Chain A
Amino acid sequence: MIRLEKRPQASQTFSWAAPVLAVLATMVFGGLLFAALGKDPLASIETIFWQPLFGDFAFYYRPQLLIKGAPLVLIAIGLSLGFKAGIWNIGAEGQYIMGAIFGAATGLAFYPTESFLIFPLMILAGALGGWIWAMIPALLKVKFGTNEILVSLMLVYVAEQFLASMALGLLKNPEGFGFPGSRNLQQYGSAHNAELITGSGMHWGVVAALIAVIFAYMLLARHRLGFAIRVTGEAPRAAKFSGVNPTRLVLFCMGMSGLLAGLAGMFEVAGPSGQITIDFNVGYGFTAIIVAFLGRLHPIGILLAGGLMALTYIGGDIAQSQLGLPAAAIQVFQGMLLFFLLAFDLFTNYRLRLGRAEAA
């Protein structure tokens, strides 16, 4: 008989092995899924994981890795702070949208003035937009005890409607021949989040993501606030005795994750995407949840997981055009990854024992 036994301490080895095992299991079961769809499983997996990095057109896809990875890492870093402390901000998608709207609106307000001050101002506005949107569930939680999961998620739908209203109304391009969508910020020098080195995919969002990783690492490893976050998640009662203020922690974690999600949205709208449109958001806010867990809520892990997830996005696009793999298949693939991760995580805290339980 096989039974589970709780480990006295969480296994360090398995904490890092679980994501790797989850990726491998996802490749196997994803391959089966692709085979069921009538595609060659090995070719599909190779297209998704190999071609963007080392294929014939890798020079085109590698920059995409930074472009798609940066928002994922930026958002996931913010989410991980809250998740660690048991504060569940699920509405990063909404905060991402609001950051983009605030950022773009600030830039467009100055159109066509050229000044080096506009872009920094847009960054501030984007951060503010995401922060405000995250402060709604945070304040409701600390004031009224409202469930932050449900409120932050409801606000995603509100933000989506707000985005539609902006794209069709206030922010619509007056010279756009009546088409929905704002002016393209890529054609407005002062507001354009251009590549820092041409052809590298490196834009200010990537820089911000790297800074966020370092900042989060230092916060968690060296700062008192990082200690408060970790102890609250692991032992809430101990946190109380060590003088952690739960209200401030909720406001900080929610605010920080909103701020980073807002920044991600702002860098996206000013750079790779270029304009506010009805379907501006593509689900980075939700995929970032997978990234945060896959990266073990650890800044370095998140950096790696963000890269991997960006790879599945790009590889998925290639597989879509070359093999006719449906776009939804990649979404399933990403969902599977989280399933396997959660399942394999069992072995971090428990071990399998053969034989009967000893009499107590």
Chain B
Amino acid sequence: MDLSAINPVLFVAGFLIAATPLIFAALGELVVEKSGVLNLGVEGMMIMGAICGFATAVETGSPLLGFAAAALGGALLSLLFAFLTQITLANQVASGLALTLFGLGFSALLGQSYVGIKPPRLAEVNFGPLHDIPVIGPILFSHDIILYLGFALVVAVWAMLKFTRAGLILRAVGESHDAAHALGYKVVRIRTLAIMFGGACAGLGGAYISLIRVPQWTEGMTAGVGWIALALVVFASWKPWRLLLGAYLFGGITQLQLNLQGAGVAIPVEYLAMSPYIITILVLVVLSADKSSAPASLGRTFHASS
């Protein structure tokens, strides 16, 4: 075992990349849950985003178009969930599971001819001299635009929820849909928009895995990141800043176990690969004592008559 093989600068830069899919997916789900809807289909929407983004990037040669397609693909799939839970009033847990099962199958179908292809690379943002600063340069100023977009989105969602009228309405719908309805807000419409935002974000996160982090396409390649994102929302107590912190923590763990695998630690690869999932469980256990910050209407079905 040779721990000196792990370059700390590359490690930090790497875990920022590993955290980005989680930031997107979890941030989208945070907005969805703030509106009172529990969408367990994050994994399905991510994998749809991963293949839509990958296929579009390969066909057009433009990774940015790929990301746009991924957001669209995720949002379209999430519309199915919105239809089931908001129009036909189906159970949200079951509908979310259906979305994941369907997404995994559908993405495998779409991705058949894309196995083993290398996607076009998304260029780093040019920060000029900033890039050449030792240590800080490679860590902070040597990434693609989507990574910075993820960070900006956290700030935007935080500000939206905290300072804007739209954020207030979204939270009102999530805390008490009956009260919001009585005040004249369109509960179903607001929730549908939130679900679509969540779908688009999950799609972007999925495409970040297939286009930048890995980068290639394999069936079921999201490997539970969508579920970890769901856990992350609980971890963050539905607060964007804590979500960012949590995503970096999980990104760090993922990156660390990959680096340890590479460094040839005496622990078998399989047990290292388990660690992100086990740590997710441990974190859930520690944090689940406090549920007070969960939106009060989370997971409950709304129908104007009842």
Q: Which residues of B contact A (CB under 8 A)?
A: 40, 80, 83-84, 88-91, 93-95, 97-98, 101-106, 108-109, 112, 219, 223-224, 227-228, 230-231, 234, 268, 270-271, 273-274, 277-278, 280-281, 284-285, 288-289, 291, 303, 305-306
Contacts and interface: CB of A to CB of B under 8 A. Distances in A.
A327 B106 CA distance: 11
A147 B284 contact: yes
A145 B94 CA distance: 21
Contact of B108 (A4, A164, A289, A331): A331
A153 B40 CA distance: 11
Contacts of A162: 270, 274
A313 B40 CA distance: 25
Contacts of B84: 339, 342-343
Contacts of B101: 286, 289-290, 331, 334-335, 338
Most buried by B among A5, A158, A327, A329: A158
A153 B227 contact: yes
Interface of A: 4-6, 37, 88, 90, 140, 144-147, 149-151, 153-158, 161-162, 164-165, 168-169, 286, 289-290, 293, 326-336, 338-339, 342-343, 345-346, 349-350
A155 B281 contact: yes
A304 B87 CA distance: 29
A145 B109 CA distance: 38
Contact of A342 (B91, B228, B271): B91
B268 to A, nearest CB: 6
A12 B94 CA distance: 21
B305 A326 contact: no
Contacts of B103: 335
Contact of B284 (A150, A164, A327): A150
Given A6-B305, A158-B277, A158-B278, A144 B108 contact: no
Nearest to B98: A338
A331 B104 contact: yes
Given A149-B40, A154-B280, A336-B102, A343 B274 contact: no
Nearest to A151: B281
Task: Label chain B's interface by main secondary structure.
Answer: helix
A118 B58 CA distance: 55
Most buried by A among B104, B284, B305: B284
Given A6-B303, A165-B268, A334-B105, A157 B274 contact: yes
Task: Label chain A's interface by main secondary structure.
Answer: helix
A161 B270 CA distance: 5
A342 B94 contact: yes
A343 B106 contact: no
Nearest to B107: A328
Most buried by B among A144, A155, A328: A328
A88 B40 CA distance: 12
Contact of A150 (B227, B268, B274): B227
B163 to A, nearest CB: 30
Contacts, number: 137
Given A147-B284, A328-B112, A331-B104, A161 B91 contact: no
By Cβ-Cβ distance, the 8 closest A-B pairs, closest first, are A331-B105, A335-B102, A328-B108, A165-B270, A342-B90, A328-B109, A346-B88, A338-B98
A328 B109 CA distance: 5
B257 to A, nearest CB: 11
B81 to A, nearest CB: 9
A158 B285 contact: no
Contacts of A4: 89, 303, 305
A236 to B, nearest CB: 13
Nearest to B290: A145
A350 B274 contact: no
Contacts of B94: 293, 338, 342
A146 B287 CA distance: 8
A290 B231 CA distance: 23
Given A88-B93, A165-B268, A342-B90, A140 B285 contact: yes
Contacts of B108: 326-328, 331
Contacts of B105: 328-335
Contacts of A293: 94
Contacts of A335: 98, 101-106
A85 to B, nearest CB: 13
Contact of A165 (B234, B271, B303, B306): B271
Nearest to A163: B270
A332 B83 contact: no
Contacts of B231: 147, 150, 154
A289 B219 CA distance: 21
A146 B284 contact: yes
A289 B99 CA distance: 13
A286 B97 CA distance: 9
A339 B98 contact: yes
A346 B270 CA distance: 44
Contact of A345 (B83, B90, B271): B90
B291 to A, nearest CB: 7
